[in-house]
Amino acid sequence: MKIYRPDIYQKDVFSINYEKLKQKKIKVLIYDIDDTLIPSNETKVNEKTIKLIQKLKKDFKIFLLTNSPRFRSDKIKNQLDLECYSFSMKPFKYNLNKIMKNYDKKDVVLIGDRLLTDIKLANNYNIMSILVDPITNYNFILVKIMKKLKEEPLYRELEKKKILIRGRYYG
Ligand SMILES: [Mg+2]
């Protein structure tokens, strides 16, 4: 169960203490796209998010790592002007391996909204993990089914064991 506990848990990408990450010598931020940076039913990145990413680029190397197909992720990557790995099939490591070829594990953090993909991948990989609450509850049908059948019971189990409680942010 510990594989699902993020190192840091915050409400959204704006609540993350990036100064603290800098102090911890984190050099690379890898963001999930859908419901982490933008609502999963939209393709336009809002101004606030664009500003945040622009500001963070001064201190960090930033990548996008998404399970979405390219026709969707390309639209987002272009607005943010970032390198993007699409169709990543997280929690599989294939695309993360490509990014990590150039970096040390201790320098990298992965930020996402899902336990079964983002957090599991980061923890399996031994890099720092940050969970944020999903921006929307809109999901493609397959994700919706996965959430209902797997993620929801997982959250309940984690909450029962007090490993992770939704809305109780830390780090
Ligand atoms: Mg997501």
Q: Which residues surround ligand 1, an ion (CB under 5 A)?
A: 32, 34-36, 113
Q: How many domains does the chain have?
A: 1
pLDDT at 14: 98
Cα of 107 from ligand 1 centre, angstroms: 22
Q: Are 131 and 96 in contact (CB under 8 A)?
A: no
Cα of 89 from ligand 1 centre, angstroms: 12
Residue showing tokens 């390198």? 83
Q: Are 107 and 27 in contact (CB under 8 A)?
A: yes
- The predicted model scores a pTM of 0.95
Q: Which domain holds residue 88?
A: 2-160
The answer to whether residue 150 is domain-embedded is yes
Cα of 149 from ligand 1 centre, angstroms: 17
The answer to whether residue 167 is domain-embedded is no
Cα of 22 from ligand 1 centre, angstroms: 24
The answer to whether residue 90 is domain-embedded is yes
The answer to whether residue 56 is domain-embedded is yes
Q: How much is the mean pLDDT over the chain?
A: 95
Cα of 125 from ligand 1 centre, angstroms: 18
The answer to whether residue 170 is domain-embedded is no
Listed as ranges, residues in the chain with pLDDT below 50 are none
Cα of 37 from ligand 1 centre, angstroms: 8
- Give the domain CATH number at 65: 3.40.50.1000
The answer to whether residue 28 is domain-embedded is yes
> Residues with Cβ < 8 Å from 158, sequence gap 6 or more?
1, 4, 5, 115, 164, 165
CA torsion angle 93 99 100 103 (round to 10)? -160
C-alpha–C-alpha distance, residues 71 and 86, integer Å: 9
What are the pLDDT digits (tens) for 41-59? 899 999 999 999 999 999 9
The answer to whether residue 165 is domain-embedded is no
The answer to whether residue 23 is domain-embedded is yes
What are the pLDDT digits (tens) for 10-26? 999 999 999 999 999 99
C-alpha–C-alpha distance, residues 140 and 147, integer Å: 11
